[in-house]
Amino acid sequence: MVSLKGFTAPWRSPLQRARQWCRKSARQWAADQGILVVTLVSVGVSLTVLGVNQLGILESAEWLAYDQMVRLRHLLGEPPLDDRLLLVTITEEDLQEIQALPLTDQTIATVLAHLQTHQPAAIGLDIYRAIPQPPGQGELGEQIRAENVVVITKLPDVSGTGIPAPEGVDPDRIGFNDVVVDADGTIRRSLIMGEQVTPEGPQVIFSLSLRLALRYLALQNITPQSSVVNPHYMQLGPSTFVPLQPGSGGYARTDAGGYQVLLDYRHSLAPARQVTLMEVLQNQVDPDWVRGKIILIGMTAPSGKDLFYTPFTRAGIAATHQMPGVFIHAQMVSQYLDAATGARSLIWLSVPWQEALWCLGWALLAGTVAWRLRHPVAFALSQNGLLMALAAVGFSLFLQRAWVPIVAPTVGIVGTSGIVLAYQAQQSARQRQMMLMLLGQNTSPEIADALWENRDRLLKSGKLPGQKTTATMLFTDIRGFSTLAEVTPPEQLLDWLNEYLSAMTDAIQTHHGIVNKFTGDGLLAVFGVPITRNTPEAIAQDAQNAVHCALTMAACMDRLNQHRQTRNQPLLQMRVGIFTGAVVVGSLGGQTRMEYGIIGDSVNIASRLESFDKTRQPTPCRILIGEDTLAYLQNQFQVESWGALTLKGRHAPIGVYRVLAHSTL
């Protein structure tokens, strides 16, 4: 005997290979389709988001995200106070003690004289002194002409109005104290250089904070140089001050004029030690706090109205609602010193092409995840995970002193995922619609829906298990249809029959019934399936819906007859039989031919009510119901008793009633 172990029939192997190739091709096509859809959607969404971002629509949201990261970073720990600076603050208590606002020239001159005795590196006077405030004008003029004193001016605004510096001060010791305020009123940027128009022409002018920082750094032999990155950029020590460009970071449409950098706050309050004006006047300041330091003198009293919003304000971290201007200038000075000495690098901002790749990467990732994870729970968890990962990566980069947009890729993730999910839903709906259309050739859409919802069981067993329920059946039939068919051309007969059945179907669906089948010129409608109705209230509602539907069908037929009369066509009459009772619903047939069936004695009774005594037609639409249905109508209809009748094929009589109209009660 020859052993067949390991033998493969020659005709079977090619067939198996063909099947494997088909399955592999189908999987490859699905994978290729997914790659194409995800790529196209991701690119489209990313370009749209970038376009929207460049219009400035997302700017405010990006600022809020930036503020949140600033606050979180400082909650993790703030650097110590900068001991290279000392803040001389003019408080409300100082003003009450001095009883003078604005401060006199004599008061300011005395403060400067006391500070100079302790040999500070530089003194920045953040108080406008263009107009003399006697007494003491001569003394103040002498003090502000000292080599280490920097005074302020205000750059001209759009109307050309500015505030000049005091007369007789070297231009190298004049700095502007203007701050750049974002559209939401918050200071996130510092203007380190501006332009001032003079009789000799436009001239570059440094800010107060940069003037003070450069004087301090000069003592350490650190001077500004042209950057090796770009000769138009300023370099201090190892740091290149890359100016803010339109479209960088969260700034899309914001004016980037002048020489601006992102302001990196050292502290949520004051970045350095503070002493009050009165403490200086009363010689209560430790000389070591002044010697070799940068001194900033400015107003902190609310009555001075030199207060600004910062990223800390809205979080409630700051003890005061706003930060004084002198504190903000101190933050800038501290930032420049740290950048020049390598202690704290400047914040790097992404540029548009980098942001495009950043957004596209997150969109591709979101689209891929959405394509693969179709389960609602898995999809929701994955999207939340992606958004959390984006926030974590963005904040990690911010801790490394890099600011990349967070809101734009968030919109990209949500948009891409949503579109991919919608595409998949649309594809699934198309497949479902195709299946429903195929099923709908033999069943109503509602029953096809029931088959679709139970498709898992259908795939396993090939049939829908029977289920017992109570429903209301409605049979209709056209009186004398055979006679009409003899004298009417088939094409015309089909047209008006479709017109009639369409009107009847609309009435049935309006009253929450389903059309189970068409019987030529008639139909079977059921109220109460495929969703089972077990409570008396639900069964009564189905019965009432059926009778309401029958009266509506009668009205529809009247309108059809009016239309037919205008075309000289024969008028129609119809019969309706309604009965409520127990039935069994489920699939009938096998896997190759199956339909949704409704069986039971109640179906037969409804059919017999419709066909009972066809010659007895008191109205164009005769509606007969059984007493079991009447019990559920709750006197909502006018009925006429026809007595206890024995229907065809039945031995026991049944109470029959004709529905006349809705009840007038």
Name all domains of the chain by residue range, CATH numbers in brackets: 44-57+352-436 (no CATH), 78-343 (no CATH), 463-662 (3.30.70.1230)
Rounded Cα–Cα distance for residues 458 and 472 (Å): 26
Residues with Cβ within 8 Å of 629's Cβ and at least 6 positions away in sequence, in order, are: 472, 543, 546, 547, 578, 579, 580
Q: Residue 46's closest CA among 361, 304, 301, 397?
A: 361
Tell me the residue ranges of DSSP E strands in 227-379: 234-236, 239-241, 259-262, 273-276, 294-299, 307-308, 323-324, 348-349
Distance in Å from the first CA to the final CA of the chain: 93
Q: Is the pTM of this model over 0.75?
A: no
- What percent of the chain shows pLDDT beyond 90? 51
Q: Are 238 and 346 in contact (CB under 8 A)?
A: no
Rounded Cα–Cα distance for residues 659 and 547 (Å): 8
Burial letters 381-410, b for 16+ CB under 10 A, else e: ebbeebbeebbeebbebbeeeebbbbbbbb
Dihedral over alpha carbons 438, 441, 444, 449 (to 10 degrees): -10
Q: Say how many CA atoms lie within 13 Å of 362 toward its Cβ.
A: 31
At residue 4, the pLDDT reads 35
Q: Are 147 and 178 in contact (CB under 8 A)?
A: no
Please name the residue ranges forming H helices in 286-406: 325-341, 352-372, 376-399
DSSP 245: -
Residue 132 gets the label, from left (phi > 0), alpha (psi -120 to 50) or beta, of beta
Which helix (H) or strand (E) covers residue 251, if one does? none
What are the beta bridge partners of residue 123? 149, 295
DSSP 570: P
Which helix (H) or strand (E) covers residue 344, if one does? none
At residue 438, the pLDDT reads 45
Rounded Cα–Cα distance for residues 327 and 272 (Å): 9
Q: Are 511 and 572 in contact (CB under 8 A)?
A: no
Q: Are 395 and 342 in contact (CB under 8 A)?
A: no
Rounded Cα–Cα distance for residues 98 and 107 (Å): 9
Residues with Cβ within 8 Å of 197's Cβ and at least 6 positions away in sequence, in order, are: 156, 203
At residue 111, the pLDDT reads 96
Q: Are 412 and 565 in contact (CB under 8 A)?
A: no
Q: Are 649 and 608 in contact (CB under 8 A)?
A: yes
Residue 281 gets the label, from left (phi > 0), alpha (psi -120 to 50) or beta, of alpha
Amino acid at 186: T
Alpha carbon of residue 480 to chain centroid: 62
- List Cα–Cα distances, 663 to 180, 351, 527, 547, in angstroms: 77, 76, 21, 12
At residue 16, the pLDDT reads 47
> Which regions of the chain are under pLDDT 70?
1-34, 198-199, 314-320, 430-464, 531, 590-594, 665
Rounded Cα–Cα distance for residues 332 and 272 (Å): 12
Residues with Cβ within 8 Å of 122's Cβ and at least 6 positions away in sequence, in order, are: 148, 149, 150, 211, 212, 215, 216, 294, 295
pLDDT (tens digit per residue) in 245-262: 877 878 887 777 889 999
- List Cα–Cα distances, 64 to 68, 181, 384, 534, in angstroms: 6, 14, 20, 56
Rounded Cα–Cα distance for residues 339 and 347 (Å): 10
pLDDT (tens digit per residue) in 17-69: 444 544 444 444 444 566 777 788 878 888 888 888 778 888 899 999 999 99
What is residue 262's three-state secondary structure?
strand
At residue 445, the pLDDT reads 60
At residue 5, the pLDDT reads 39
